Amino acid sequence: MNSVDNLGLRKGIVELFDYDNDYTRIYLEEKKNLERLLKDKYIRIEHVGSTAIKNIKSKPIIDILVTCKDLLEFQKFVKENVESETYTLKELQEGAQDFLIRKEEDGKVKAFIHVVLDDSKVAKDYILFRDFLNNYPEEAKKYEELKVELLKKYKDDRPKYTEGKNEYIKNIIKKAEQEKRI
């Protein structure tokens, strides 16, 4: 069974699957759906996260970046027009630079939709990280190795698993920013 057959995870669980070329197709289908639901309220929709990085293991959850002009206005639109049994909104926290929409079906999280301000550092970091790892497969493999190690420690603790990746991600973003300046 490939990773797409297993798309989605129950909340709080971590599993990694081999890369699957169908991730791009699934992302494009979801993008089309989001374009319909979000109407003219978004600026960009991008495939990010590990499923957007070629040939590395990832959680079978599609990460999508959506950028907008105003987070509060966008959140209000989502609450009134998009939130449903399938799409649930994680509230924008005071001072936060993003919020999350979770797509769930059959008790599994299928996609994380990260909503950020367009041209924000957060938006740029998502893209820098994805592009750097796709341009440097050996660095992508190091990231995969870190994820496998963290999985062994934190299979049932997604927050700790995610926290364990933070330093590596920050370092990759710094490398990518330096490379762009050269």
CA 152, distance to chain mean position in Å, is: 21
Task: Please say whether the beta carbons of 102 and 90 come within 8 A.
Answer: yes
Name the CATH superfamily housing domain 4-181. Answer: Beta Polymerase, domain 2 (3.30.460.10)
Q: What is the pLDDT of residue 132?
A: 97
The per-residue pLDDT for range 54-79, each reduced to its tens digit, is 999 999 999 999 999 999 999 999 99
Pick the closest to residue 40 from 65, 72, 83, 74 (CA basis): 74
Q: Would you say residue 46 has pLDDT above 80?
A: yes
Q: What is the pLDDT of residue 146?
A: 98
Q: What percent of the chain has pLDDT above 90?
A: 77
How much is the mean pLDDT over the chain? 92
